[in-house]
Amino acid sequence: MSEKSYLIEDLHPLETYGANNVYLEKIKQNFPKLRIVARGNELKAIGEESEVDTLLQKFAQYVGLIAKGRELNDSLVREVFGAEVSVVEESLNNNTDSDNNTILFGNNGKPIKARTANQIRLVKEIAKNDIVFALGPAGTGKTYTAVAVAVKALKNKEIKRIILTRPAVEAGESLGFLPGDLKEKIDPYLRPLYDALDDMIPPDKLKLYLENRTIEVAPLAFMRGRTLDNCFVILDEAQNTTDLQIKMFLTRMGPNAKVIITGDLSQVDLPAKQTSGLLKATRILEKIKGISMVVLNVDDVVRHRLVKEIIKAYEA
């Protein structure tokens, strides 16, 4: 008789067990001689040692496939727990992204996908290049897709940190004096980044990541003087950077970093006499090897259908 455990480190239990443990129950059916108990992130198996080892080895491969973007369904359970260990290892080694363009599974097992042709291209360009500019109007999923790719890289332990930053520029109105400490003053500018993270990482894990600075959300000014290495860095709303700011940001990049710059040149909130640093950066950097430009358009809008019509009306 043997008792051994497997600890799920980078996924929420719901992403592996399914709603109401539906897939955990299917896994148990493949090992009727074992007593299998799941408590939070820990899966415990009790029974004959060889069978316990087989279960935990297959379960580790199952978790690995899900972390790489495989959709959680009956087919995946059959593929892993109904096959020889060597067959599953081959599948794991050959697997990249799933055919349905799922980037990762968020909270409650929600698949987060690249949903349009340009979003799919953005994901591919991020994989191939260390600096990617994602340009396009509101609602095209620039930031959300970039954050999803970064979270996936963190889950796969390809990087150690995610850094999300924005220039703290008011969108056409003066907010005046805001009460509270520094964090409370700047958080309203950074809220869209938190919203994306809330969809992708369980609240308790996100809180831990923010506390230990595995994920850092900060205004652009806080980047000055730093070297950003072994991380995934996203500069959002880059149309509101000045020429000096975006140059400062890009030169923070360490040797093992990926940088994504997102922006919408039709919504510049800088004072009238200032030009967007993003516009100049895209012009002078586009021919450098390792830097890619992805332009999204109204066809990539994934918000309410009226957003497309609003953008078209303003363009006209």
pLDDT digits (tens, 9 = 90+) for 272-289: 778 889 999 999 998 899
pLDDT digits (tens, 9 = 90+) for 85-104: 544 455 555 544 444 678 88
pLDDT of residue 250: 93
pLDDT of residue 189: 67
> Where residue 258 falls among pLDDT bands split at 50, 70, 90?
very high
Contact 276, 268 (CB under 8 A): yes
Least confident span in 7-11, 224-228, 229-233: 7-11
Structure token digits, residue 179: 């009460």
The average pLDDT across 224-243 equals 91
What is the rounded distance in angstroms from the CA atom of residue 233 to the CA atom of residue 246? 13
> Where residue 294 falls among pLDDT bands split at 50, 70, 90?
very high
What is the rounded distance in angstroms from the CA atom of residue 86 to the CA atom of residue 316? 58
pLDDT at 81 over 80: yes
DSSP string, 184-226: HHHHHHHHHHHHHHHHHS-HHHHHHHHHTTSEEEEEGGGGTT-
pLDDT of residue 131: 96
**Helical pair 142-155 and 182-200, crossing angle rounded to 10 deg:** 80
pLDDT of residue 171: 43
Across 20-51, b (16+ Cβ under 10 Å) vs e yields: eeebbeebbebbeebebebeeeebbbebeeee
3-state helix, strand, coil split of the chain in percent (to 5) is: 45, 20, 35
Spell out the domains of the chain, with CATH numbers in brackets. Answer: 2-94 (3.30.1370.10), 102-315 (3.40.50.300)
The pTM for the full model equals 0.68
What is the rounded distance in angstroms from the CA atom of residue 158 to the CA atom of residue 92? 16
Contact 166, 220 (CB under 8 A): yes
Distance of CA 122 to the CA centre of its chain: 13
Across 273-308, b (16+ Cβ under 10 Å) vs e yields: eeebbbbebbeeeeeeeebbbbebebebbeeeeebb
> Is residue 45 classed as helix, strand or coil in its secondary structure?
strand
Alpha-carbon Rg for the chain in angstroms:
22
By residue count, the chain amounts to 316
pLDDT digits (tens, 9 = 90+) for 113-128: 888 889 999 999 999 9
pLDDT of residue 172: 42
What is the rounded distance in angstroms from the CA atom of residue 294 to the CA atom of residue 262? 10
The average pLDDT across 280-304 equals 88
What is the rounded distance in angstroms from the CA atom of residue 265 to the CA atom of residue 28? 54
| Beta strand residue intervals within the chain, DSSP E | 2-7, 35-39, 42-47, 102-105, 111-113, 131-135, 161-166, 215-219, 231-235, 257-263, 291-295
What is the rounded distance in angstroms from the CA atom of residue 146 to the CA atom of residue 140? 11
What is the rounded distance in angstroms from the CA atom of residue 43 to the CA atom of residue 7? 6
What is the rounded distance in angstroms from the CA atom of residue 41 to the CA atom of residue 302? 33
**Mean pLDDT of all residues belonging to the chain:** 83
> Where residue 308 falls among pLDDT bands split at 50, 70, 90?
confident
Alpha helices by DSSP H, 212-296: 243-250, 277-285
pLDDT digits (tens, 9 = 90+) for 142-185: 999 999 999 999 988 899 999 999 887 644 434 445 555 555 65
